[in-house]
């Protein structure tokens, strides 16, 4: 079994629902089908067209969007459709036939972007390359990521952080960015363009700090910890993600009124980032959760 999991996501168009997957189902390609005859290249889309309310099917790298006719409301059928897609994929059902031509093929581009951490460079792709976030600090740690494993063969690569559409690489001091950036950018671009797996499908389940595992941990937290996590997600994570990093809640001590967080990617190991983030988060949590938080400890991942 491939252990596919499907989650239902509403869109701005109430006739269309996205069924997001925890794994990629196409090689960074997109396909659109308007009816069952049009869907000969996709056994999965044909299966969906047997449902009388399905008007159009759009298949992308890690989601399936379905447009309905007005004979039903999505609230009445979306869970059953999600279950059907999940069962089909876990039974080994074919998504797209091998000889199918994509509706639109966009060339892969990757650009390098400096981060506040001088040891870290962010390589941003124009395609989604992962369904979760992952950090690898050694070649042994990177067994679940073919891309990270190969990056560690470069002697100057210290750690690799992979997010939905970018890779942050931390280098050793032995090399300067002006000497290695082009080489790394071309390696990453070619790796994606060749359709290789950036991260293995089972990685999200096996890695302790991946997004699905963190979601499970969230449900077990106390109310104050959940408030802290939600504040970090809304106010802090978007800013650090733009710099090629991530912040992860580690724990809350109600007696000491202290919070511990882990800095990953570009934020990790950068003295100025650690100091700035720690103070900024500490002040924010003090203001938003008065009497509950006094100190924040920032740990480098």
**Average pLDDT, integer, range 265-280:** 69
CATH class of 221-300: alpha beta
Ranges for all domains in the chain classified under CATH 3.30.300.130: 221-300
Give the CATH number of domain 110-203; options: 3.30.470.20, 3.30.1370.70, 3.40.50.300, 3.30.310.50: 3.30.1370.70
pLDDT at 18 over 90: yes
**Residues in contact with 186: Cβ distance below 8 Å, sequence separation at least 6, in sequence order:** none
> Mean pLDDT score of the chain, rounded to an integer?
85
What per-residue confidence (pLDDT) applies to 203?
Answer: 74
What per-residue confidence (pLDDT) applies to 189?
Answer: 94
pLDDT at 1 over 70: no
Ranges for all domains in the chain classified under CATH 3.30.1370.70: 6-91, 110-203
- Whole-model pTM: value is 0.62
Q: Which CATH superfamily is domain 6-91 in?
A: Scaffold protein Nfu/NifU, N-terminal domain (3.30.1370.70)
Q: pLDDT band for 232, please (50, 70, 90 cuts).
A: confident
């Amino acid at each position: 079994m491939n252990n596919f999991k499907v989650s239902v996501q509403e869109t701005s168009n109430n006739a269309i629902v996205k069924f997001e997957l925890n794994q990629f189902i196409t090689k960074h390609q997109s396909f659109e089908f308007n009816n069952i005859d049009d869907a000969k290249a996709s056994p999965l889309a044909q299966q969906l067209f047997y449902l009388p309310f399905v008007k159009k099917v759009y298949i992308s790298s890690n989601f399936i969007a379905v447009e309905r006719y007005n004979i039903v409301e999505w609230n009445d059928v979306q869970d059953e459709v999600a279950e059907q897609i999940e069962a089909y994929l876990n039974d080994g059902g074919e998504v797209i036939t091998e000889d199918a031509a994509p509706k639109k093929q966009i060339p892969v581009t990757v650009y390098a972007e400096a981060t506040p951490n001088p040891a870290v460079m962010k390589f941003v792709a124009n395609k989604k390359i992962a369904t979760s976030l992952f950090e690898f600090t050694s070649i042994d740690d990177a067994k679940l990521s073919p891309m990270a494993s190969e990056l560690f063969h470069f002697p100057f690569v210290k750690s690799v952080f992979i997010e939905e559409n970018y890779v942050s690489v931390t280098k050793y001091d032995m090399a300067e960015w002006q000497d290695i950036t082009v080489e790394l950018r071309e390696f990453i671009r070619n790796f994606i363009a060749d359709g290789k797996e950036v991260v293995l499908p089972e990685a999200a389940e096996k890695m302790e700090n991946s997004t699905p595992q963190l979601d499970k941990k969230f449900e077990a937290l106390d109310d104050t910890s959940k408030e802290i996590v939600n504040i970090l997600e809304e106010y802090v994570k978007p800013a650090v993600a733009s710099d090629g990093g991530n912040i992860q809640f580690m724990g809350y001590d109600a007696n000491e009124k202290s919070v511990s967080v882990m800095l990953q990617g570009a934020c990790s190991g950068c003295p100025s980032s650690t100091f700035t983030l720690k103070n900024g988060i500490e002040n924010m949590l003090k203001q938003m959760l008065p009497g509950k938080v006094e100190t924040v400890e920032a740990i480098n991942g």
